[in-house]
């Protein structure tokens, strides 16, 4: 198993390194996007978007277990390339990169790192909220709140709140989670919809999208990891987490996988969803948020992910969601499958 995980680390590190050592073709695309950003027509930055953040998370978790300084060097180079001269953020999902930036700041507190973290917080704190207090995933659709953003933004805010003793950041994280748990869940299955409309509370897209469940879980677990346990909101969120995990584990198949949509029992397995759920369960056990008996479900999930891994590359990961209700049924090797798969394998390792 250790050899397989070592190969996963290698592939993950290479993928992150490619973001700051781009090919000539990628450099041309990046220059074009920067021009559009300058004239007010921003496009997603593929070198600094949420998939890159999954790779950074994997190397943070990997370094915490192995003390492999190559991981730390790669993270430093990635953030230095992506952030040292960056003054503006254009998309909410870019903020996920800030989560592991705290880890870098803890090991190397250069002024530009702190400035970047504070710029990210300013972006989120001034992002136009919905009438219910949530955040729209894109400002072009100001009433559509999607589950994805909870795992991208809330852990950053909670970690920011603890690091800088900023109660408002912690409060925002708690509020965003509470908003979605109040308005974005299906009453019968107790699973999240992909989203909801804040003006009429209409639920959007499918119930129990596997990666969406993973986004909610990661949002809850990695937010609770940094919240004050004596706060009024902590026990309520912890209880909601326990109830959600008890619901989710019923959908794990006999091989340890979770499907692309949890209730699609005969549908395709999704390693990105399986990794996100397994990662969250193991993190929750380690943080004493849930009982240790749940580790069996993480063990099964790791076995499944490793079965879908070849030469360190994680396969069977669902393609990117093209929008609300658009889930292309393409499965293979992609950045988020690699990132979350390696992050999951990392937390399952014994610390050296």
In total, how many domains does the chain have?
1
User: Rounded to two decimals, what is the model's pTM?
Assistant: 0.94
Between CA 209 and CA 95 the distance in angstroms is: 22
Instruction: Determine the pLDDT at residue 60.
Output: 97
Instruction: Determine the pLDDT at residue 35.
Output: 47
Q: What is the 3-state secondary structure (H, E, C) of the chain?
A: CHHHHHHHHHHHHHHHHHHHCCCHHHHHHHHHHHHHHHCCCCCCCCCCCHHHHHHHHHHHHHHHHHCCHHHHHHHHHHHHHHHCCCCCCCCHHHHHHHHHHHHHHHHCCCHHHHHHHHHHHHHHHCCCCCCCCCCCCCCCCCCEEECHHHHHHHHHHHHHHHHCCCHHHHHHHHHHHHHHHHHCECCCCCCEEEEEECCCCCEEEEECEHHHHHHHHHHHHHHHCCCCCCCCHHHHHHHHHHHHHHHHHHHCCCCCCCECECCCCCCCECHHHHHHHHHHHHHHHHCCCCCHHHHHHHHHHHHHHHHCEECCEECCEECCCCECCECCCCEECCHHHHHHHHHHHHHHCCCC
Instruction: Determine the pLDDT at residue 47.
Output: 80
Q: Collect the ranges in the chain with pLDDT lower than 50.
A: 24-26, 28, 33, 35-36, 39
Instruction: Determine the pLDDT at residue 27.
Output: 52
Q: Which domain holds residue 273?
A: 2-348
At 344, which CATH number?
1.50.10.10
């Amino acid at each position: 198993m250790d050899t397989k995980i070592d190969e996963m680390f290698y592939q993950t590190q290479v993928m992150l390194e490619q973001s700051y050592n781009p090919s000539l073709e990628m450099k041309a695309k990046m220059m074009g996007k920067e021009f559009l950003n300058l004239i007010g027509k921003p496009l997603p930055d593929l070198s600094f978007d949420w998939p890159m953040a999954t790779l950074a998370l994997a190397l943070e978790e990997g370094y915490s277990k192995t003390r492999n300084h190559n991981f730390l060097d790669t993270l430093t180079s990635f953030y230095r390339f992506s952030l040292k001269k960056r003054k503006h953020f254009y998309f909410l999902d870019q903020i996920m990169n800030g989560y592991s930036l705290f880890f870098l700041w803890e090991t190397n507190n250069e002024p530009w790192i702190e400035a970047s973290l504070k710029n990210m917080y300013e972006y989120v704190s001034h992002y136009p909220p919905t009438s219910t207090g949530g955040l729209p995933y894109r400002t072009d659709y100001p009433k559509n709140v999607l589950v994805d953003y909870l795992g991208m933004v809330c852990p950053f805010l909670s970690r920011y709140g603890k690091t800088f003793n900023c109660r408002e950041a912690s409060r925002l994280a708690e509020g965003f989670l509470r908003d979605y748990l109040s308005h974005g869940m299906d009453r019968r299955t107790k699973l999240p919809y992909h989203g909801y409309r804040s003006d009429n509370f209409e639920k959007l897209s499918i119930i129990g999208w596997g990666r969406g469940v993973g986004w909610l879980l990661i949002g809850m677990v990695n937010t609770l990891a940094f919240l004050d346990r004596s706060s009024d909101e902590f026990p309520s969120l912890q209880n909601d987490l326990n109830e959600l995990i008890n619901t989710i584990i019923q959908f794990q198949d006999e091989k340890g996988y979770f499907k692309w949509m949890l209730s699609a029992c005969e549908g395709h397995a999704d390693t990105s969803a399986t990794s996100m759920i397994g990662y969250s369960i193991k993190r929750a056990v380690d943080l004493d948020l849930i009982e240790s008996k749940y580790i069996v479900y993480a063990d099964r999930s790791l076995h499944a992910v490793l079965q879908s891994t070849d030469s360190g590359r994680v396969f069977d990961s669902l393609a990117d969601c093209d929008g609300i209700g658009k889930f292309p049924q393409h499965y293979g090797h992609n950045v988020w499958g690699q990132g979350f798969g390696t992050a999951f394998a990392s937390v399952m390792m014994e610390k050296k």
